Amino acid sequence: MRGTRLNSAARSSKITGINIADACAMQINDLGVGPRAGRAIRRPSAGHAGQTLDSFVEIGLGYLSLDRPSGTLSGGEAQRTKMIRHLGSSLTDVTYVFDEPTVGLHPTTSSG
C-alpha cells in the first residue's frame, strides 16, 4: 500500500503514467484537467470534476492537493472550499448572501 491507503489494484490504473494516489498527492494546479490542461494529466472531458478543480484554481486554492485532510485547512481555505461547494451545487432559485466574504481569507498574489 506504500502509505497511500490504496491497494495495488487501485494504484495499477494510470492516466498518462500517473496513478490515482500520485494524482491526489499533486497540487490541483498541476493536474490540468480542465481548460488549463497541459500539465501532468490531459483529459479534455473531465466534466464536473474538472469544473470543480478549475474553481479551486480560480479562487486561489490551486496549491492544495486532493489528499490533504480538510482539518488541516486554514480558516480562509476552509471558507473558500465551502464557497466552491455551495456555488457549484445544482440548486436553482437560490440567492446566496455572503456577509463579509473576505473575512478569514488569506490574500493571494497575482502576477499580472
Give domain limits for the chain. 8-68
Q: What backbone torsions phi and psi does residue 57 show, to the nearest 5 degrees?
A: -65, -45
Per residue of the chain (112 residues), give pLDDT as tens: 456 777 888 788 887 788 888 888 889 888 865 444 445 555 555 566 778 888 888 888 989 998 898 899 998 888 888 888 877 777 777 777 766 656 555 666 555 4
pLDDT score at 72: 94
Q: Specify the pTM.
A: 0.64
| DSSP-derived 3-state class of residue 56 | helix
